[in-house]
Structure 1
Amino acid sequence: MRHSGKWMTSVDDRILEFLHEKKPTTPTKMTTKASLPYSRQHVDRRCKKLDEEGLVESLGNGVYMITEDGEAYLEGRLDTETWEYIDREHPPEEDC
């Protein structure tokens, strides 16, 4: 299960998934090859926000790649609301 912050939108997951699968690319390619139902401008704005938050990295010239934090978020190991990593091997103890 992914733990998305309140600042995230539905397209953010799609962007991260596409970058995970296709590696570095541009918002233009994301809108055409991933068939995202959003404008290139909207995807570009979300990529910039994801870059500010550290889930993607801008490589320049409008090219973005997913970061380790972005991968951890996709795997459900990072809560982007609290920015805490979730230890899947040692779940929190329940109150007795």
Structure 2
Amino acid sequence: MMRLSGTWMTIWDDRILEIIRKEDAGRVGDLAERDAIRISQSSVSRRCKKLAENDLLQPLGNGVYTITGKGEAYLNEEYDAENDIFLNGNGSKDGPTASETSELR
């Protein structure tokens, strides 16, 4: 299986999430200095904000972020970031789909 990224995501998002998961938290300035991330500090900041908007990161303030449960699930190939759906172990949807959820409202 593979990670199900959203169309809004870039390759740098995976690297940002991986580093923050490994280190428990990450500061934008420190992330931008990493060899594994080859984009500017302003680009790292934009990516972190986008990941936070989509609940994969949680901002702690002062440019520091930590990973969320959705972020962990995405890295573990248990979350479809495009459709905002958690997956069970075999890659199928677990629980109501996005369309079923909207019908319940």
Q: What residue number does 1:49 align with?
A: 50
- Summarize deviations over 1:26-51 as a string: whole Å, max 9, x none: 11111224541110100000000101
SS at match of 2:18: helix
CA separation in 2, counterparts of 1:51 and 1:39?
Answer: 18
SS at match of 1:16: helix
Q: What residue number does 1:40 align with?
A: 41
Give me the TM-score of the superposition, normalised by structure 2.
Answer: 0.81
Unaligned runs of 5+ in 2: 94-105
Question: Retained in 2: the 8 A contact 1:18–1:34?
Answer: no
Q: What residue number does 1:10 align with?
A: 11
- Summarize deviations over 1:47-83 as a string: whole Å, max 9, x none: 0010111000000111100001000000000001111
SS at match of 1:72: helix
Whichever residue aligns with residue 41 of structure 2, its letter is: R
Superposition map of 1:76-91 within 5 A: 76-88=77-89
Identity, % of aligned positions:
41
User: Which structure is higher in RCO with an 8 Å CA cutoff and minimum separation 6?
Assistant: 1
CA separation in 2, counterparts of 1:90 and 1:41?
Answer: 35
Question: Retained in 1: the 8 A contact 2:79–2:85?
Answer: yes
Whichever residue aligns with residue 9 of structure 1, its letter is: T
Give me the TM-score of the superposition, normalised by structure 1.
Answer: 0.88
Q: What residue number does 1:21 align with?
A: 22
Q: What residue number does 1:75 align with?
A: 76
Question: What is the count of residue pairs matched by the alignment?
Answer: 92
Q: Larger deviation: 57-66 or 22-31? A: 22-31
